[in-house]
Structure 1
Amino acid sequence: MKIIRVIFFAGVLALMGCTSIPPEAPELSVELGKRISAIEDSNIILLNRFFDQKRKEVDRFIEDEWVPEFANQFFSNDAIANAWDTLVRENDKKQRLMFLVKVGPRLQKKINEKRLELIQPLDELERQIERKIREEYTQVRAMNSSITSFLVSASEVSENRNRYLEMAGATDKSMGQLIDKTDAAVTNLLGKAGDAENKAVRAEEFLGKVREIRDSI
């Protein structure tokens, strides 16, 4: 609200210093509003595509790293290992099928739970950033309507537009920092080739970083 008041009073002072307002000002304001909405839509599309890619990378982490380790731990359980060894030794296809039918849903449930655990924070972060972007652009559009009477020439429209966008906080820099931090969190989750660090530890660090980014908005 402080920013809006500053702009309002600045506009009043500008208006007081003007002897006339160009008749093109309303049309220019309408055109500016359309461009602001187009930029907003483009930013939201890019944001959604970015998070789609991050979700795919998390899925790759689950499939390539977490599932193999989880399966190894699952079949390291003495009861499970002994049961499976017996089935393999007896070579009873029917019993092996029954075993897989029994344990399969349990395995899938654990995998789904882990995916939800890692994906849900990304979904929430995406919604929060999108909401922040839309709020900023809503404020910018409102200010654009308010400053129509302050436009004195077509050449000043672009200059005013960029200044008000920056003052409203809808700068590429602020949103870019959130995107960069999210990208870094997912990259750390995937790890480096040959990285022996425990997958569970990386997953926990990922969740912590995403929550930190979310709380900073």
Structure 2
Amino acid sequence: MSQSTDAPQVPKRQRTRRVALRDGTETKEKRLRLTQKAIVSAAAELFARNGFGATSLDDIAAVLKVTKAALYYHVKNKEEILRLIYLSVLNVAEEPLRQIVESDLDPEEKLRRAVEHHIMVSADRSPAVTVFYHEQPHLTGPFSKEITIRQKDYEHYFERIIEEGQATAVFLSEVDPKIATFGILGMCHWLSQWYHPSGHYSPAQIATMFTAILEHGLLRSKE
């Protein structure tokens, strides 16, 4: 009788265990490589495109090519991801603006730099900024109040610049600083709806044009 040349058979249970261990290791490695920053970035894209309510954790996991369990390793739920998106915008927007407002620059230059800063943040974080201005109703509890307070503080920085310019006769005194702030920020906010990095103008160029509109309007001088 001839001898078999087949390789030794590994028991099915042992093969299954090896596959399970290998898969478990791969899942763990992916989970460790995954970061909150990556989750926030992917979720911001989905929330901006589809809306917070229409996006599930499964959708976010699919984009990141991980399991939903891997997401839970970093975040508690979808609401926490939304919270992190809001913080990702505020944490880069607030401090530089405060420094501009409290600097020794003249009001005109402060306004120019404040607008440029706001536009740069909006362009650099376009999906997150879109989420920021559309999904606030989904924030609940103390964090919702915190965001409202921080938003008002941010707006107040622009009001301070305008008030300073009015006090030194640089800006028109008959314009309500709060209304002017709403107009400025409204113009800047819309950037997140149409700006694309491959477009004709850079964020800095757009900021220059926006500032020119604010300072001089669109009408040519009649002098």
TM normalised by structure 2 equals 0.24
**Structure with more relative contact order (C-alpha pairs < 8 Å, separation 6 or more):** 1
TM-score, normalisation: structure 1:
0.24
Higher normalized helix content (fraction of residues): 1
* Larger Rg, first or second structure (1 or 2): 1
